[in-house]
Amino acid sequence: MSYEFRLPDIGEGVAEGEVVKWFVHEGESIAEDAPLVSVLTDKANVEIPSPKSGTVLKLHAAEGEKVKVGALLVTIELLVDSTTTAPVAPAAPVEPSPPAVAPPPAPSPTVHPPAGGRVLATPHIRRLAAEKGLELSRIHGSGPGGRITEEDVRSAAAPGGSPTPSTLAPVPTAATSPAPPIAPLPATEGAKPPIGGAESPADIERIPIRGLRRVIAEHMAEAVHRAAHFTYVEEVDATELVRTREKMARHLEKNGVKLTYLPFIIRGVVAGLREYPHMNAFMDDDRQELVVQRRFHLGIATATPDGLIVPVIRDANTKSVAQIARELQDLGERGRVGKLTRAELTGSTFTITSLGMLGGVLATPILNYPEVAILGVHRIVRRPIYGPEGTLVPAELMNLSVSLDHRALDGITGAQFLSVVKSYLEDPHMLFAEMA
């Protein structure tokens, strides 16, 4: 009798896997639970054991080929009738198998591995049981041939769902009369250490990654996967910038506008991008081209209750510090309540990320892919520096970090760009002369 084995569910959210390596060839014999195939998913590299003993008739996927969950992987000619519930040695006589056209037998609710027998479960199921502190040998398997399913594990982990004598099948024996049921072990006896140190489901909280959070996760993963990140850091003496902002803030606040350091930094970034235009670009990976932008649409990473968004200051080179301050305030207020349009959240050519007062000392920002550069802004800290004639004077110091896609930009380009930004911020009066 032939058995068709399909790619099982090997991880939550996994829809397909890539066949990395077959451990058998067509025509070879394989034992149950022996290594069958290695499959790579977006989560991990998983080694799948053979579900049956027999001879490999057909491998239905080549190494390097992607296979959907549920798709046919391999056909195995079985050594024994798969409806037999008791262990059968390979040398024992085999009953005639049913016709190949017959449908597979329905799962038997009484199937359970005998004491000391093999536990049939995929790596995903074994990992799930370990997370919940359950011993697989104590769980009733409702799948084909007594295989343990995800539902079996979750049922056993539910309140009042621990295995009991009524849920455990009798041990098959050669006697005609059934053997007494197996007595259950205490719930903690022989249990594997739970993952993460949790003692029970009540000790953990599982938060679904959905909506904006899932979009962020996918976007960040794509950026790290595709781009070759390189970060360069520069220290800026922001003493004069602090004075200038304080003077301007008093006038703007009379009109209800809050002036932060970001408008000055945006103007400094525009000056840097003018001199090093390849920083104002994105990678077209499909065509293997660097697409340099002639307009300056600066994305500003903004925290919201649901996650990070990036509203865009369009044509930042045409706007004054005061105009940028007003626009930032409006975008920030509407962004926090989810009222920004898609047009206001797309189309950036360069991104700036800042945590303001919580900006820390240093960070390595992840690119807003497919952009090739992003600037990280860190908090301003007062520290002493050497002034004229070796005297110590107080200064307002700030770190800026720029991450680059090293496929398109060399480190020297990032350093030169940041040097320009630094010069404008250390002498902010230059910013008012740097207009469109």
- 167 shares its domain with 217: no
- 280 shares its domain with 308: yes
Which pLDDT value is given to residue 24?
Answer: 93
Question: Is the pLDDT at 314 greater than 90, yes or no?
Answer: yes
- 192 shares its domain with 218: no
Give the distance from CA 332 to its chain's centroid: 27
Tell me what percent of the residues of the chain surpass a pLDDT of 90: 46
Question: Is the pLDDT at 108 greater than 60, yes or no?
Answer: no
Which pLDDT value is given to residue 198?
Answer: 54
Which pLDDT value is given to residue 130?
Answer: 77
Active site residue 406: yes
Question: Is the pLDDT at 212 greater than 60, yes or no?
Answer: yes
Of 190, 182, 151, nearest in space to 164 by CA: 182
How many CA atoms does the CB half-sphere of 436 hold within 13 Å?
Answer: 11
Structure-model confidence comparison of residues 336 and 228, the more confident one: 228
Structure-model confidence comparison of residues 123 and 285, the more confident one: 285
- Spatial distance between the Cα atoms of 352 and 279, rounded to a whole number of angstroms: 13
On whether the pTM is more than 0.85, the answer is no
Domain end residue (candidates: 154, 171, 203): 203
Instruction: Give the mean pLDDT of the chain.
Output: 81
- Spatial distance between the Cα atoms of 34 and 428, rounded to a whole number of angstroms: 69
Q: Which residues of 200-228 are buried (b: 16+ CB within 10 A; e: fewer)?
A: ebeeeeeeeeeeeeeeeeebeeebeeebe
Which pLDDT value is given to residue 145?
Answer: 64
Structure-model confidence comparison of residues 305 and 260, the more confident one: 260
- 304 shares its domain with 379: yes
- Spatial distance between the Cα atoms of 13 and 378, rounded to a whole number of angstroms: 36
Which pLDDT value is given to residue 111?
Answer: 41
Question: Is the pLDDT at 310 greater than 70, yes or no?
Answer: yes
Phi and psi, residue 231, nearest 5°: -120, 135
Which pLDDT value is given to residue 199?
Answer: 62
Give the distance from CA 123 to its chain's centroid: 20
The number of helices, as runs of H, and strands, as runs of E, in the chain is 7, 18
Considering the candidates 25, 225, 406, 429, report the single residue annotated as catalytic.
406
Beta-carbon neighbour count of residue 15 at 10 Å?
12
Which pLDDT value is given to residue 112?
Answer: 45
Confidence of residue 146 (pLDDT cuts 50, 70, 90): confident
On whether the CB atoms of residues 27 and 59 are closer than 8 A, the answer is: no
- 129 shares its domain with 234: no
How many CA atoms does the CB half-sphere of 63 hold within 13 Å?
Answer: 9
- 258 shares its domain with 314: yes
Split into its structural domains, the chain has a count of 2
On whether the CB atoms of residues 295 and 313 are closer than 8 A, the answer is: no
On whether the CB atoms of residues 400 and 376 are closer than 8 A, the answer is: yes
**Mean pLDDT value of segment 270-288:** 95
- 286 shares its domain with 195: no
Question: Is the pLDDT at 189 greater than 60, yes or no?
Answer: no
CATH number at residue 137: 2.40.50.100
Where do the H-state alpha helices sit in 88-149?
A: 123-131
Domain end residue (candidates: 146, 173, 203): 203
- 386 shares its domain with 264: yes
Confidence of residue 194 (pLDDT cuts 50, 70, 90): low
Which pLDDT value is given to residue 379?
Answer: 92
Which pLDDT value is given to residue 83?
Answer: 47
**Mean pLDDT value of segment 186-211:** 65
Q: Is 409 exposed, middle or buried (0-12, 13-18, 19+ CB in 10 A)?
A: buried
CATH number at residue 233: 3.30.559.10
Domain end residue (candidates: 179, 203, 227): 203
- 198 shares its domain with 241: no
Q: Is 136 exposed, middle or buried (0-12, 13-18, 19+ CB in 10 A)?
A: buried
- Spatial distance between the Cα atoms of 436 and 434, rounded to a whole number of angstroms: 7
Which pLDDT value is given to residue 385?
Answer: 92
SS3 assignment, position 131:
helix
Question: Is the pLDDT at 245 greater than 70, yes or no?
Answer: yes
SS3 assignment, position 422:
helix
Question: Is the pLDDT at 384 greater than 50, yes or no?
Answer: yes
172: tokens are: 């098959």
- 167 shares its domain with 222: no
pLDDT digit string, tens, across residues 43-96: 445 789 999 999 999 999 998 788 898 999 999 999 865 444 444 444 444 444
- Spatial distance between the Cα atoms of 150 and 9, rounded to a whole number of angstroms: 9
Confidence of residue 124 (pLDDT cuts 50, 70, 90): low
Kindly report which listed range (183-197, 281-295, 357-371, 385-399) carries the lowest average pLDDT score: 183-197
The sign one gets for the Cα dihedral 293, 295, 296, 299 is negative
- 172 shares its domain with 220: no
Beta-carbon neighbour count of residue 52 at 10 Å?
22
**Mean pLDDT value of segment 316-322:** 95
Of 210, 268, 228, nearest in space to 369 by CA: 228
Question: What is the domain extent for residue 274?
Answer: 212-432
On whether the CB atoms of residues 221 and 43 are closer than 8 A, the answer is: no
54: tokens are: 């027999």
Which pLDDT value is given to residue 177?
Answer: 47
- Spatial distance between the Cα atoms of 344 and 308, rounded to a whole number of angstroms: 14
Confidence of residue 29 (pLDDT cuts 50, 70, 90): very high
Question: Is the pLDDT at 307 greater than 90, yes or no?
Answer: no
- 313 shares its domain with 224: yes
Structure-model confidence comparison of residues 338 and 269, the more confident one: 269
